Amino acid sequence: MSPRSDDDLEIAGFPGEPQKNEYLRSVDVIYIRPCFVQSDQVRFRAEFSRDIGEMLPYLNAVIPNAIYNHSEGILCYTDALRMVTLYPESMTAMKAKNTTDAHRLAADIRDLINDTYRRRGEIQPCYARRELPSAMDILGWLPEEEYNCGRCGEATCLAFASRLYRGEGEIERCSPLLQRKHAEAREALRSMLR
């Protein structure tokens, strides 16, 4: 379990009870922390009650805007502007509206995984990366609190995201992204661009 920090928000009000006899019994929120700029938005990490690695190719097939890296075992997608990353044993999400929304999203992901598992006989698993991230997808992972700071040499974050999209830049040029607090965003972005 990840250590709690002082800025963790209360972890309460999980709307879904653990589901007995289901593939995935629960998605347990480990921490919820504020987004860096908008205090009414949160990011969170949750752990799966079992390893779901075998389900990632099936989820890649059913989630419309998924970006999947099979060798890394990482699947990213956006859900109502919330940015979700699934790993075999855990998940992270950014830009959830609040703690209630975070818990609801965790429960929805548990239900999505269980529903996909029940229907896996009808689903052709997809091991390929199905689409490249757009510049706007990339923009969503850049540090909001330094928006348009210019340290990467570009006038705007969107210009930097467009460069990455064209394969012309390296994410290390965005120095704010190298801070420890952005490790999850950095990892997701590297996986998307690899």
- Which residues lie near ligand SF4 (CB under 6 A)? 142-143, 146, 148-152, 154, 157, 160, 174, 176-177
Least distance to ligand SF4, CB of residue 102, Å: 24
In our burial notation (b when 16+ CB lie closer than 10 A, e otherwise), range 74-89 reads bbbbbbeebbbbbbee
Give the separation between CA 128 and CA 56, rounded to whole angstroms: 11
Nearer to ligand SF4, 57 or 140 (CB): 140
In the bound complex, what is the minimum distance in angstroms from residue 191's beta carbon to ligand SF4?
18
Strand partners, 193: none
- Residue labelled with tokens 């923009």: 139
Cβ at position 139, least distance to ligand SF4 in Å: 9
Cα Rg for the chain, rounded, in angstroms?
17
Give the residue with the Cβ less far from ligand SF4, 36 or 117.
36
Give 2 or 175: the residue with its C-beta nearer to ligand SF4. Answer: 175
